Structure 1
Amino acid sequence: MTERPLTAYKVLTAEQMATLERDGCFQGAPVDLADGYVHLSTADQLTETVDKHFAGQSDLHVAAVDLGSFGDSLKWEESRGGQLFPHLYGPLLLETVVAYGALERDADGRVKLPITG
Structure 2
Amino acid sequence: MTQTVAYKILTGEQLSRLLAEGTFAGAPVDLADGYIHMSTADQAQGTLDKHFAGQDDLHVAAVDLAAMGSAVKWEVSRGGALFPHIYAHLPLSAVIVHGPVVRDADGALQLPR
Length-normalised TM-score, structure 1: 0.94
Separation in structure 1 between the aligned mates of residue 14 and residue 67 of structure 2, nearest angstrom: 21
Identity %: 59
Deviations 1:12-68 (A, max 9, x none): 000000000000000000000000000000000000000000000000000000011
CA RMSD of aligned residues (A): 0.7
Decide which of 29, 50, 53 is 2:51's aligned counterpart. Answer: 53
Unpaired runs of 5+ residues, structure 1, are: none
Decide which of 7, 10, 14 is 2:8's aligned counterpart. Answer: 10
Length-normalised TM-score, structure 2: 0.97
Aligned-residue offset at 1:110: 1.3
| Higher strand proportion | 2
| Count of aligned pairs | 113
Unpaired runs of 5+ residues, structure 2, are: none
Aligned-residue offset at 1:98: 0.3
2:21 is aligned with what amino acid?
D
Moved over 2 A (4+): none
What secondary structure sits across from 1:32 in the alignment? helix
